[in-house]
């Protein structure tokens, strides 16, 4: 590089370590709280090193949850997982089919379909809460996995990513497969989808995290404990008066909600970064 002075070389390391400490700061204290008794936490300031109740707290969170919640973290994790997987897989399948039609076929209404999908690109559910709620309630999908998943599949990002990728696939391949007697669906299944595995992996990471972290929508449509996701459970545990909160259980649940998507991002970092920066182009 250009600068050679020693102090200049140490500078980025100092800054980045400082940033890492700030980023990890709240996580560390949440972890400490999840290993202590509620009395420890309430006797502010809480001790700054971990206690000995880790197994007990996580065990209770997973098996029964905090008092008055009526849902265990195990159940809520299952619900968060079903929702995240449903959204990720559902979105990918539906978007692959739509992008395939838009790119590889010429049909009246193609432009219309493209624009109808495009307009939903950045529209979050937050801005159309009430009417979407009404649709789900009319369809009888309150307190159901279908109700949690289906409205979240609307979004153009995946269609766009796949469309871009499909546009870069040489058409000779499609033509050749046709000449060899393969149907268009055979081409899709055995040639196009395998070629698309990198963008699919990228989309999977992004959509899994998106689904796992949904908040407003499950907040609206889940009133029964057996459909609570982790985030809804955390909200319910915190909504009582301060003195009634079992902080140690809440904090254990917070970490259980935080760790799975973080693992996905860290393990699939390459695909994740590629997916994010590709949708920009």
For residues 2-31, which are near another protein according to CB under 8 A? 2-3, 9, 11-13, 15-16, 19-20, 23, 25-27, 29-30
106 makes contact with another protein (CB under 8 A): yes
Quick one: which of 5, 111, 181, 242 contacts another protein (CB under 8 A)? 242
Q: Is 75 left (phi over 0), alpha (psi -120 to 50) or beta?
A: alpha
Give the residue with the Cβ less far from another protein, 68 or 120: 120
The two tokens of residue 239 are: 């909504």
Chain CA centroid to CA 82, Å? 11
Give the residue with the Cβ less far from another protein, 180 or 280: 280
Residues numbered 50 to 79 that lie near another protein (CB under 8 A) are none
Residues 6+ apart with CB under 8 A from 105: 184
Q: Report the nearest approach of another protein to the CB of residue 106 (Å).
A: 5
146 makes contact with another protein (CB under 8 A): no
Segment interacting with another protein (CB under 8 A) among 54-62, 64-72, 128-136, 196-204: 128-136
Residues numbered 182 to 241 that lie near another protein (CB under 8 A) are 184-185, 187, 209, 212-213, 215-216, 219-220, 231, 234-235, 238
261 makes contact with another protein (CB under 8 A): yes
Segment interacting with another protein (CB under 8 A) among 49-57, 65-73, 109-117, 191-199: 109-117
Q: Are 261 and 209 in contact (CB under 8 A)?
A: yes
Q: How many chain residues bind another protein (CB under 8 A)?
A: 100
DSSP-assigned letters across all residues of 110-128: HHHHHHHHHTTTT--GGGG
Q: Are 76 and 228 in contact (CB under 8 A)?
A: yes
Give the residue with the Cβ less far from another protein, 67 or 171: 171
- Residue 196 DSSP code: T
Q: Are 129 and 220 in contact (CB under 8 A)?
A: yes
145 makes contact with another protein (CB under 8 A): no
Give the residue with the Cβ less far from another protein, 30 or 74: 30
244 makes contact with another protein (CB under 8 A): no
265 makes contact with another protein (CB under 8 A): yes
Residues 6+ apart with CB under 8 A from 161: 95, 199, 202, 203, 275, 278, 279
254 makes contact with another protein (CB under 8 A): yes
Distance of alpha carbon 69 from alpha carbon 158, whole angstroms: 36
Distance of alpha carbon 81 from alpha carbon 230, whole angstroms: 10
172 makes contact with another protein (CB under 8 A): yes
37 makes contact with another protein (CB under 8 A): no
Q: Are 275 and 206 in contact (CB under 8 A)?
A: yes
Quick one: which of 68, 137, 190, 277 contacts another protein (CB under 8 A)? 277
Distance of alpha carbon 57 from alpha carbon 37, whole angstroms: 8
Segment interacting with another protein (CB under 8 A) among 54-62, 71-79, 190-198, 262-270: 262-270
Cis bond before residue 28 (omega within 30° of 0):
no
């Amino acid at each position: 590089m250009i600068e050679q002075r020693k102090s200049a070389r140490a500078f980025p390391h100092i800054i980045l370590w400082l940033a890492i400490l700030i980023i990890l700061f709240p996580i560390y204290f949440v972890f400490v709280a999840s290993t202590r008794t509620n009395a420890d936490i309430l006797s502010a300031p809480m001790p700054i090193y971990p206690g000995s109740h880790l197994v007990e707290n996580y065990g209770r969170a997973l098996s029964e949850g905090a008092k008055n919640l009526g849902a265990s973290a195990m159940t809520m994790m299952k619900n968060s997982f079903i929702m995240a997987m449903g959204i990720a897989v559902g979105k990918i399948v539906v978007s692959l089919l739509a992008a395939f039609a838009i790119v590889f076929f010429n049909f009246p209404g193609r432009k219309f379909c493209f624009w109808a999908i495009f307009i939903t690109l950045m529209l979050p559910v937050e801005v159309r809460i009430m009417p979407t709620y009404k649709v789900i309630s009319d369809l009888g999908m309150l307190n159901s996995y279908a109700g949690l998943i289906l409205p979240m599949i609307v979004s153009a990002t995946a269609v766009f990513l796949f469309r871009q990728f499909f546009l870069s696939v040489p058409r000779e391949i499609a033509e050749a497969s046709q000449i060899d007697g393969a149907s268009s669906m055979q081409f899709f299944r055995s040639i196009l989808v395998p070629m698309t595995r990198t963008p699919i992996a990228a989309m999977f990471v992004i959509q899994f995290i998106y689904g796992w972290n949904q908040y407003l929508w499950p907040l609206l449509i889940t009133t029964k404990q057996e459909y609570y996701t982790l985030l809804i459970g955390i909200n319910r545990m915190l909504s009582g008066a301060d003195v009634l909160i079992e902080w140690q259980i809440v904090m254990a649940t917070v970490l259980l909600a935080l760790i799975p998507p973080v693992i996905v991002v860290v393990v699939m970092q390459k695909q994740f970064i590629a997916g994010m920066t590709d949708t920009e182009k």
